[in-house]
Amino acid sequence: MALEHYHRYYFARQFCEGKKVLDFACGEGYGCEILRQSAAEVYGCDISQEAVTYALQKYPTVNFRVGSLAEDLFAENSFDVITCFETIEHVEAEIQDAALKNFAKYLKPEGILFVSTPNLESPLWVPNSFHKKEFTEREFYQFLNKYFSYVRIIGQDVSCVSYMEDLSRASYLQIPELSQTHAPRYLIALCSQTPLSKVVPTFSVDITGSSFVQLAHVKRVVVNLAPWFNKIIKVLSFLMPTKRLKSKISRYRF
């Protein structure tokens, strides 16, 4: 999950060079910090006062404020770029419409909106009780096209990647599994009132391991739960119908 979120911000960052940027539903602000590496000025907005308070302390060079999607918070033509990732599906249709209308107002005429959402047509889609209204690719395009003349939708999928390369020569990275046609798990849209440039495909590789759970943390969790696991094993052993199964189950310990 961390990797897919970071990739969206790194992708958007390339469009923010020297620009004034707004990240809506910024959470604790890590995305704003990524965008700030390229942008001239970054604003973050979130409905959670707690998140904004934390973000103000952690990222003092970013301008944070509390606000909701439906509120009219900024002046017309205020920003060059707006990002709003994995948020629009959490609100009802009327608030989605109000949010998109506001984004179109906040952006300068040549500005770009980046907005993402899960894809209802993906084979990996699962119901989420926190989502109010999700989209197919066609529905997402039609929704965005109401307020933006140009809309380009790209797909995003996340998988573990094992990479092997001959260091003695340069070669193109081949991932045959990704050549299969399928509906992507996430839809990332670029929206503007002016024609959009061609999007270069990208992939994000976590070379630090920071996107994954630390093994030390897993060990602490298991240690804390070990007494309960061992009690369950003891009960299972008692319930086994044969001595052989009882002995086999009893060998497991946490």
98-154 pLDDT, tens per residue?
Answer: 999 999 999 999 999 999 999 999 988 888 999 999 999 999 999 999 999 999 999
Q: Are residues 222 and 122 in the same domain?
A: no
Residues of the chain short of pLDDT 70, as ranges, are 161-181, 207-219, 221-222, 252-254
CA–CA distance, 170 with 196 (Å, rounded to integer): 31
| CATH number, position 83 | 3.40.50.150
Q: Are residues 35 and 87 in the same domain?
A: yes
CB-based contact 42:23 (threshold 8 Å): yes
Buried/exposed 66-80: b ≥16 CB within 10 Å, e otherwise:
ebebbeebbeeebbb
CA–CA distance, 9 with 26 (Å, rounded to integer): 11
Pairing of strands 107-118, 150-156: unpaired
What interhelical angle do 93-106 and 137-145 show, nearest 10?
Answer: 50
Q: Is the residue at 209 inside a domain?
A: no
Tokens linked to 241: 């119908």
Query: Rounded to two decimals, what is the model's pTM?
Result: 0.77
Q: Is the residue at 103 inside a domain?
A: yes
Structurally, how many domains does the chain consist of? 2
> What pLDDT sits at residue 21?
98
Q: Are residues 157 and 233 in the same domain?
A: no
Q: Is the residue at 94 inside a domain?
A: yes
Domain that holds residue 238: 215-250
Q: Is the residue at 232 inside a domain?
A: yes
Which residue in the block uniquely carries the two structure tokens 């991932």? Answer: 175
SS (H, E, C) the chain: CHHHHHHHHHHHHCCCCCCEEEEECCCCCHHHHHHHCCCCEEEEEECCHHHHHHHHHHCCCCEEEECCCCCCCCCCCCEEEEEECCCHHHCCHHHHHHHHHHHHHHEEEEEEEEEEEEECCCCCCCCCCCCCCCECHHHHHHHHHCCCCEEEEEEECCCCCCCCCCCCCCCCCCCHHHHCCCCCCEEEEEEECCCCCCCCCCCCCCCCCCCCCCHHHHHHHHHHHHHHHHHHHHHHHHHCCCHHHHHHHHCCCC
For 109, phi then psi, to 5°, come to -55, -35
> Quick one: which of 39, 32, 42, 44 has its CA closest to 15?
39
Q: Is the residue at 24 inside a domain?
A: yes
Q: Is the residue at 70 inside a domain?
A: yes
Q: Are residues 42 and 141 in the same domain?
A: yes
Q: Are residues 232 and 188 in the same domain?
A: no
Q: Are residues 228 and 184 in the same domain?
A: no
Tokens linked to 29: 């602000």
> What pLDDT sits at residue 145?
97
Q: Is the residue at 114 inside a domain?
A: yes
> What pLDDT sits at residue 234?
82
